[in-house]
Amino acid sequence: MQKAERLLAITLLLQARGKMTADHLADLLGVSVRTIYRDMISLSLSHVPVSMDYGPGGGYFLPEETFVDPVTFTGEEAIALALGGAIAGGSHIFGDGDRLRQALIKLEAVLPEEYRHDVRAARERILIDVSAWYRPLSVPPSFEPVRRAVWHRRQIDLCYRGAARPAPEWRRVEPLGLIWKAGVWYLAAYCCVRKDLRTFHLQRIIEVRATDDPVNPRPDFDLEAFWESSLRRFESLTTPVVLTVRVSPAILPRLYEGHVVVREEVDGSAVVRYRTDSIESAVRHVLSLGPGVTVIQPRQVRDGVLAAALAIAGAY
């Protein structure tokens, strides 16, 4: 993004969202905080009335009477918006997608002719498939009541089955936002039982009961920052594992990309090493390969495969 485009983006963000910190602007625009500070000086020199409040709850803002008329889309911006609409439509937040399609048609109609040609060409040459492999894209039954609660800012009672708790339990939560990642919906909410902010997998919600109790204001809550923090915490708990296995020649083509052959054996088998997301995912992957693979390291994966194999044999 060029500086002129970034200055306009900052002005429009302040106009649309109100007060914003330099850190938040830097994250959104993909630049350093120091760059934002320099941009604010440039805006002031250009007679854009940017003001700043210091201390907790502070940030940059524009006076209420200030209005900046956004410029016409560039060709690339129009294409990005049209393709982004395909992603948003796949999320099912717009129901069957008719409302989103109608909005994009209206938007496309007011674009200059050369931009409409670019958008049509992009649709013909770029396809965005948001569905997951081996799993149909669907909306969980809890989605609509949760979406209403988020939109109307009302507390709800959830009958929820946690990943580590097989028995479901009821929880009163204050819904703060919805997140869609890789075809899965999550709810960011304050849990009144645990007394902290939590992420709830909508597929694990068994029942939702609406209430008339309002959500308590949390002016410092930022959905994007909360989700980034949640992802970092999740990734820290699922440390990648370097897996070393001996595989038959028939299994070798089925391994993850990026595997390294450590040595080849005289019988045609090979000892290979590659990374997996976690111990659990390594165990699942080894089991999916069948009897043509033997785990060498780490020990936790060997034990996990053995335990799973004994459980399967016991079931039969």
Tell whether 66 is covered by a domain: no
Phi, psi of 312, deg, nearest 5: -65, -45
Same domain, 120 and 151: no
Q: Mean of the per-residue pLDDT values for the chain?
A: 81
Tell whether 137 is covered by a domain: no
- Considering only CA atoms, which of 280, 281, 264 is closest in space to residue 272? 264
Tell whether 213 is covered by a domain: yes
Tell whether 67 is covered by a domain: no
Tell whether 211 is covered by a domain: yes
pLDDT at 95 over 60: no
Please state, in angstroms and rounded to a whole number, the distance separating the CA atoms of residues 104 and 90.
Answer: 14
Per-residue H/E/C for 94-111: CCCCHHHHHHHHHHHHCC
Q: Considering 219, 237, 255, which residue would you say is the last residue of a domain?
A: 237
Domain count, the chain: 4
* Residue range of the domain that includes 309: 241-315
C-beta separation of 98 from 150 below 8 A: no
Same domain, 118 and 51: no
99, amino acid identity: R
Q: What is the pLDDT of residues 176-233, one digit of tens each?
A: 999 988 778 899 999 999 899 999 999 899 999 999 999 999 988 989 889 988 888 7
**Measuring CA to CA, how many Å separate 172 from each of 73, 152, 164, 194, 202?**
44, 16, 19, 10, 15
200, amino acid identity: F
Q: What is the CATH number of the domain that holds 39?
A: 1.10.10.10
Q: What is the pLDDT of residues 7-53, one digit of tens each?
A: 878 887 888 788 889 998 988 888 899 999 998 888 888 788 888 88
pLDDT at 146 over 90: yes
- pLDDT at site 280: 82
Tell whether 138 is covered by a domain: no
Q: Cite the DSSP H helix spans in 46-152.
A: 75-90, 98-109, 113-125, 143-152
Please state, in angstroms and rounded to a whole number, the distance separating the CA atoms of residues 293 and 313.
Answer: 18
Same domain, 232 and 265: no
